[in-house]
Structure 1
Amino acid sequence: MMLDLQIACADAGLPSEAQLQQWAAAAIQNPNGDEELTIRIVERDESHALNQQYRGQDKPTNVLSFPADLPPGIELNLLGDIIICAPVVFAEASEQGKTADAHWAHMVVHGVLHLQGYDHTEEDEAQVMESLEVKILNKLGFGDPYQQQP
């Protein structure tokens, strides 16, 4: 898998490129080794602007996914782009009583699954996606992100 990592924020304590690549690779459902994706780590203002533009939500969000939309006949294994807002992810991890790494891993896995067509807008879709997330995160050594933390 090839990862294009873009850091557009000044937060300390970001996961390493190797961690991000490991988490993303774990979420690829039918890997053939030449998948490509971009992860861009941003501040609140960029996340807010993108969330407003593409989802109509007037606030920053933890992760946005933009699947590749390649023209017919172009044979690339480009999955797309994931935008992760570092300040939101760190704040959510703290609020939810999770380690930062556990929440970062969840956001990467969640985003990569979206790039592959998984969704959670309908209840049945959400059950499939969430169970897959739990399975992947368990393999990575993290607990169930949907369980209440003590």
Structure 2
Amino acid sequence: MTTACPVHIDLLVEAGDWESEETLEAVAEKAIAAAFATSDLSVIENTEVSLVFTDDAHIQELNKMWRQKDKPTNVLSFPGDDSEEPPFGPLLGDIIIANETVKREAVELGIPFEHHLIHLIVHGTLHLFGYDHQIDEEAEEMEAEERLILANLQIPDPYKDAPLSADK
């Protein structure tokens, strides 16, 4: 599946032992383009998403500040506006991803790091469009959407054998 990414990606490698910015941008474009190609996501022209690649220490601070959870997590998403109806934009929002947690989870799940990173970018993108997993019904809907997007990228179902522990 090769689809153009419909949003501009503003990428920052803030902290952590990440690949090059070029590699991360290619992975992000692949994940976000697949989310748009598979799902019913709608944005206005010239929409931007911010991707911050950081470490566990920084994401723990953010998690504590915004979610009152004093622990690192794999991904946090912050929608750019309060709109609940499409189309969204021009600032879609921020997705922050923690290096050590993503690497650790990929090893624990026995999956390639890139597959897990793509999954988390897709997960974060869906959050920016109002998807959530706080209650079982919402979690099932969000996971089903993730499965479809990842299947279109030939990435195996991440929930099949060992579900990713949703940080509820």
Q: What TM-score, normalized to structure 1?
A: 0.89
- The residue that corresponds to 1:45 in the other structure is 57
RMSD: 1.9
> What pairs up with 1:38-77 in 2 under 5 angstroms?
38-69=50-81, 76-77=89-90
Q: 1:89-128 alignment to 2 at 5 Å?
A: 89-128=102-141
Write the distance in 1 (CA, Å) between the matches of 2:131 and 2:50: 18
Aligned length: 146
**Is 1:30 equivalent to 2:46 in the alignment?**
no
Which runs of 5 or more structure 1 residues have no equivalent in the other structure?
A: none
- Check 1:76–1:116 CA distance in 2 against 1; reply closer, same or farther (3 A cut): closer
Q: Does 1:134 align with 2:140?
A: no
After superposition, give the CA deviation of every residue in 1:65-99 in whole Å (9 maximum; x if it has no partner).
Answer: 0001269xxx8432100000011101100011111
Residue 4 of structure 1 corresponds to which residue in structure 2? 10
| Equivalent position amino acid for 1:30 in 2 | L
Q: Distance in 2 between matches of 1:34 and 1:120?
A: 29
Tell me, in whole angstroms, the C-alpha distance in 1 between the residues paired with 2:69 and 2:58: 13
Equivalents in 2 of 1:145, 1:100: separation in Å?
Answer: 12
For each residue in 1:86-123, what CA deviation from the matched residue of structure 2 results, as whole angstroms up to 9, or x when unmatched? 11101100011111011001100000000000001111
Question: CA contact under 8 A between 2:59 and 2:73: conserved in structure 1?
Answer: yes
Q: % of aligned pairs identical?
A: 40
What secondary structure sits across from 1:16 in the alignment? Answer: helix
Q: Distance in 1 between matches of 2:29 and 2:129?
A: 16
1:31-89 Cα offsets, whole Å, 9 max, x none, are 45643100100011110100000011111100000001269xxx843210000001110
